[in-house]
Amino acid sequence: MSEIIGKSTSRREFLKDTGKLAAVSSLAMGLGARAYAGENNTLQVALVGCGGRGTGAAANALSVKQGPIKLVAMADAFENRLKDSYAGLKGRYNDQVDVPEDRKFLGFDAYRKAMDCLKPGDIVILATPPAFRWVHFTYAIEKRLNVFMEKPVTVDGPTSKRMFTLGEQASAKNLKVGVGLMSRHSRALQELVKRVQDGEIGDVILQRGYRMHGPAGFFNSPPKPADISDLCYQIRRFHSFIWASGGNFSDFYIHIIDHLGWIKGEWPVKAMGLGGRHYRQSPEGITYVDQNFDTYSVEYTYADGSKFFFDGRCMENCASPYASYLHGTKGVAIASKSGDCGQPSSIYKGQDPTQGTAVWQSRVPRDQQDPYQNEWNDLVDAIRADKPYNEVKYGVECSLVTSMGRMSAHTGQEITFEQMLNCPHEMAPGLDKLTMDSPAPLQPDANGRYPVPQPGITRDREY
């Protein structure tokens, strides 16, 4: 596979001309809107990755009101996840779920079988751990399918370069691609972006982001049971392993990093991070074997010297701020009041929103308040109206910026955007050839513990 970015690519070279990917005309492939919707106007959907987020994305797809949509195939590595997902979706969207037993697929090649059930112009949802994104996206492009992929879309430099290339290939085939960075589809944040970039809070000089709460998802993991392979254990508990997900830093923190960069109108150029592992035992005394830090703190720097401070923590019984802020020379804005993109967004005079005078607060119509649904409405609208639509480029850029902060904390070094992009460490090569008998990308020691980041000791890679 050719790559658009070489080993010494600069940030400026690959960030320029953002619009090029989306500008390719459908005439190049002779595909019109009718070809995407299918002759009977029904869009068929295949779900690849049947966990909570994949099931949620499928529910959003089936809730779109712009013409008929049906779920016709499902794929996962684990039977229980597929069964649970199917039962939930069938119970809620009975008439729109047409997935008989012979269109339910298991295993590492299941994604191919599910996509083979679709026709060109249908939609595949890619919601497996992000390490597999480039593998599945490659086949989706080959099958000429529109795509919705979950975030993050990459966790290291080599796969990021691969995904940039694939994004261009998708545009060349006039495929529509959505990325699950739903903040971009928050109507409140869209209005805030406009107001901040129009100068309502003056020059942005500081941003702050926080996500702190108790352990969630598969943040930590006990030793592997004897009845499962290392490979399946790491995929099942993907938040615990950097190769599979970027760890909890990439999976949990990407949304706030995304929308603050979007509002600023650029990506940070470097990061200096720190973090630590504190309580690595369960209340029952079981030692956790995952790779995550319990706390992270990253200082991101933009090209103009302004700063973005991000703090994350997964600990019980601690303060739990989960919000994002922008400070400007004329005032302060709250981007997310609570959560990844919690409404309302607001602007205040002064630097303290608890004491300042409110200047503006978002008011969004009830039917547009859910950004998860908005992103699906926007994607399907682009498919049916044959509008240019490809979110891959900024999805990969945001994944790289997130990885840049994670790598800085894990190595104890300042990491630039170029260093993250050009870092040669591909954490899990050969995933396109994976089978159930393949060795896991991460091997445990004699005590069943996996390698963890050692800042200052391992400095040119994360473990």
Rounded Cα–Cα distance for residues 123 and 185 (Å): 19
What mean pLDDT comes out for the span 143-165? Answer: 98
Residues 214 and 120 in one domain: no
Name which of 310, 336, 308 is nearest 324 in CA terms.
336
Residues 244-272: what's their mean pLDDT? 98
CA separation for the pair 227, 461 (Å, rounded) = 31
Q: Is the pLDDT at 285 greater than 90, yes or no? A: no
Q: Which two tokens stand for residue 238?
A: 């993907």
Residue 10 pLDDT class (50, 70, 90 cuts): very low
3-state SS, residue 224? coil
Q: Which of these, 181, 171, 145, 133, lies nearest to 394 by C-alpha position? A: 181
Contact 414, 270 (CB under 8 A): yes
- With respect to residue 395, please indicate whether it lies within any of the assigned structural domains: no
Q: What is the mean pLDDT of residues 4-12?
A: 41
Q: Is residue 446 part of a domain?
A: no
* Average per-residue pLDDT for the chain: 92
pLDDT of residue 281: 83
Asked if 175 and 208 sit in the same domain, the reply is no
Neighbours of 443 (CB within 10 A): 9
The whole domain housing 323 covers: 187-366+401-433
Q: Report yes or no on 463 lying in a domain.
A: no
Residue 33 confidence class, pLDDT cut points 50, 70, 90 = very low
Residue 227's CB is within 10 A of a number of other CB atoms, namely 7
Helix orientation angle between 79-92 and 52-62, rounded to the nearest 10 degrees? 30
pLDDT tier at 1 (50, 70, 90 boundaries)? very low
Checking if the pLDDT of 85 tops 60, the result is yes
Q: Where are the alpha helices (DSSP H) in 269-391?
A: 371-385
Q: Are residues 313 and 170 in the same domain?
A: no
- What pLDDT is attached to residue 3? 34
d(CA 115, CA 57): 17
Domain closes at, from 339, 358, 390: 390
Tell me the pTM: 0.91
Q: Are residues 383 and 415 in the same domain?
A: no
Q: Is 205 helix (H, G, I), strand (E, B) or coil?
A: strand
User: Per the domain annotation, does 458 fall within a domain?
Assistant: no
Residue 426: partners with Cβ closer than 8 Å, 6 or more residues away: 156, 157, 158, 159
* Together in a domain, 299 and 379: no
Region 434-450: mean pLDDT is 92
Pairing between strand 358-361 and 415-416? Answer: unpaired
Q: Who wins on pLDDT, 4 or 409?
A: 409
- Same structural domain, 418 and 306: yes
Mean pLDDT of 55-74: 98
| Domains contained in the chain, number | 2
In a domain, 357, yes or no: yes
What is the model's pLDDT at position 5?
35
In the sheet that holds 43-48, the strands lie side by side as 104-106, 69-76, 43-48, 123-126, 146-149, 177-179
Residue 154 lies in a domain: yes
Of the candidate ranges 277-291, 295-309, 368-382, 433-447, the one whose mean pLDDT is the lowest: 277-291
- At residue 26, the pLDDT reads 36
257 — pLDDT class (breaks 50, 70, 90): very high
Q: Evaluate whether residue 96 is within a structural domain.
A: yes
* pLDDT value of residue 164: 98
Confidence at 8, pLDDT banded by 50, 70, 90: very low
* Arithmetic mean of pLDDT, 208-236: 95
Provide the pLDDT confidence category of residue 32 given band limits of 50, 70 and 90.
Answer: very low
Residue 338, domain CATH: 3.30.360.10
Q: Are residues 152 and 199 in the same domain?
A: no
Q: pLDDT class for 279, splitting at 50, 70, 90?
A: confident
| 96 and 199 together in one domain | no
Could you tell me the pLDDT band of residue 39, with boundaries at 50, 70 and 90? low
Does residue 175 fall inside a structural domain?
yes
The predicted structure's pLDDT at residue 306: 98
Gyration radius of the chain over CA positions: 22
